[in-house]
Amino acid sequence: MKSSVRSDEPLLYRPAFVAAAEPPSGARARVRFAGFVLFTALGGDAWQSLLGWPAFIALVVGLTIACAVVLVRSHRLSPVRWTRCSKPLAAFLVLCTGSLLWSQYTGATALGVTAQWLAAIAGVTLAVTLTWLEILRALGVALRWLLGLSLLFEVYVGTIIRQPLHALWLFSGGQGVPPEYEWSSAELLNGGPIQGIVGNRNLLAFLALLALIVFAIEGVERTRGAVNSIFWLAVALLAHSLTRSATVLMATVGVAFVLLIALLIRRVPVHKRLVIYPFGILGLAGVAYATITLSDQLFPLLGRGDDLTGRVDIWNTVLNLAWQHPVFGWGWVSYWAPWVEPFKGLIVIDGTEYLQAHNAWVDLFLQLGFVGVFVFGCLIAATTVRCWWMAVDPTPSATVGGRPAPYQAIALLPLLLLAALVIQSLTESRLLVEGNFLLLVLLATKVKLDPLPLGPPPRAVVG
């Protein structure tokens, strides 16, 4: 996929170390590398199903080493003031690492901490070395491949194989494979639900939600051709609808409401905004209440139970366990390690052993106690505030041609991505691991280092 960078691209779109003139091939290389990193992180389940865990771990370690090399080289060209990076993020990583001292399963904690740092290094690298426009393009590249391959994969399974396909690396030992471990359930011709290359309807639906955000902003900024943008928006909508994911449908409604409030606030003078904010908060509460109230009718229509597919029972079980170590928790582990207590056989539903609490905040309480919930909450709060001001409050002194700098669609990107991540964290623990945590690190770091992409938007069209 081609990309280009205009020579007159505003400096605020560029990190300091690439502010000097560089060949377009350098920007293309950064976007392609970042796109592959994001593809691997967000589509990790696809690699695991295709290659198995050993090969996936080797791939992740290799990419992390490459990210570290890129980060060191960029720091040599233009040193980064690390004191300007997100302090709550640093505190959270230190807390995860420090939990080795009190962990009830030290070996599993060591693995979890290693995975956390690998994702953090990749996220920081992308934040430091990419411009906001390049982040948008890299996300677009990754999500196009993930959705495109997912639909092609489902077409192949539905029309050629015509029966459920199990992950290539999974051996059942003659006991049969639980339905949750089917790579594809071959339901495309029946109207879904489809699972895509990631092997899970909720994960694929969330990728489609991210794609809707990214593709829409690309279309408004005209960084891609109109036909191209419309086509990929249609692909994202198709994938979203075919997953029939109730939880991501809820997240989509929430993200749409956040977008609406941000666009309304942009039109309100600063001195009148304090009057508007309470209505926005009440509106969010209303959306949440309506979602819960309508769940009895909505979830069965989508093939789900009215208790978020057993999540309430999972939360109760995990919370009862968490209260045994409420201050600092049992110790960090990210994904539950099924070979150690207390995770061994902790949650088994219909023969499937679950490896997360299906709520990031419940998982935080279990693993890091009240302290972990507080530190991570500070990370989310600080990042949210910066994303919000970036979206609705351009710097008053910024001007273009003697006039105030216009609002840009790309300024909404961090806010909408973060909204999707946080809303999903109420029904999934993915915010704490792999691609979702990488995105959180990227956003938390970038909005602190380079908060406002102001100036005339680049209109470079990519093919």
- Tell me the average pLDDT of the chain: 82
175 in any annotated domain: yes
Share of the chain above pLDDT 90, in %: 43
Residues 323, 429: Cα–Cα separation, whole Å:
19
Predicted local distance difference test score (pLDDT) of residue 462: 41
Q: Is the pTM of the predicted complex or chain greater than 0.85?
A: yes
Average pLDDT over residues 423-445: 92
Predicted local distance difference test score (pLDDT) of residue 358: 87
User: Token pair of 202, please?
Assistant: 């909720």
| Domains in the chain, number | 1
Give the 3-state secondary structure of 108-132.
HHHHHHHHHHHHHHHHHHHHHHCCH
434 in any annotated domain: yes
- pLDDT tens digits for range 49-107: 888 878 889 999 999 999 999 988 887 777 777 777 889 999 999 999 999 999 999 99
Share of the chain above pLDDT 70, in %: 81
Predicted local distance difference test score (pLDDT) of residue 163: 83
Residues 78, 84: Cα–Cα separation, whole Å:
14
Instruction: Please indicate whether residue 447 or residue 295 has the higher confidence score (pLDDT).
Output: 447
φ/ψ (deg, to 5) at 80: -90, 135
Binned at pLDDT 50, 70 and 90, residue 406 comes out as low
321 in any annotated domain: yes
Instruction: Please indicate whether residue 406 or residue 155 has the higher confidence score (pLDDT).
Output: 155
By the 10 Å C-beta count (0-12 exposed, 13-18 middle, 19+ buried), 169 is classed as: middle
Average pLDDT over residues 252-277: 83
- Long-range Cβ pairs for the range 55-60 (8 Å, 24+): 60/118
Residues 87, 350: Cα–Cα separation, whole Å:
42
Look up the domain containing 140 and give its range. Answer: 11-449
- pLDDT tens digits for range 111-168: 999 999 999 999 999 999 998 999 999 999 999 999 999 999 999 988 888 888 777 6
- pLDDT tens digits for range 6-27: 333 433 344 434 433 454 567 7
Per-residue pLDDT at 169 exceeds 80: no
218 in any annotated domain: yes
230 in any annotated domain: yes
User: Token pair of 224, please?
Assistant: 């891609």
Residues 114, 133: Cα–Cα separation, whole Å:
30
Binned at pLDDT 50, 70 and 90, residue 291 comes out as low
Predicted local distance difference test score (pLDDT) of residue 373: 96
371 in any annotated domain: yes
Per-residue pLDDT at 248 exceeds 70: yes
Predicted local distance difference test score (pLDDT) of residue 456: 46
Predicted local distance difference test score (pLDDT) of residue 299: 60
Binned at pLDDT 50, 70 and 90, residue 38 comes out as very high
Residues 141, 37: Cα–Cα separation, whole Å:
11
Alpha helix (H) residue ranges in 244-302: 246-266, 273-293, 295-301
456 in any annotated domain: no
Q: What is the CA radius of gyration of the chain?
A: 22
Q: Residue holding tokens 């992390």?
A: 64
- pLDDT tens digits for range 353-388: 788 888 899 999 999 999 999 999 999 999 999 999
165 in any annotated domain: yes
User: Token pair of 332, please?
Assistant: 């960090």
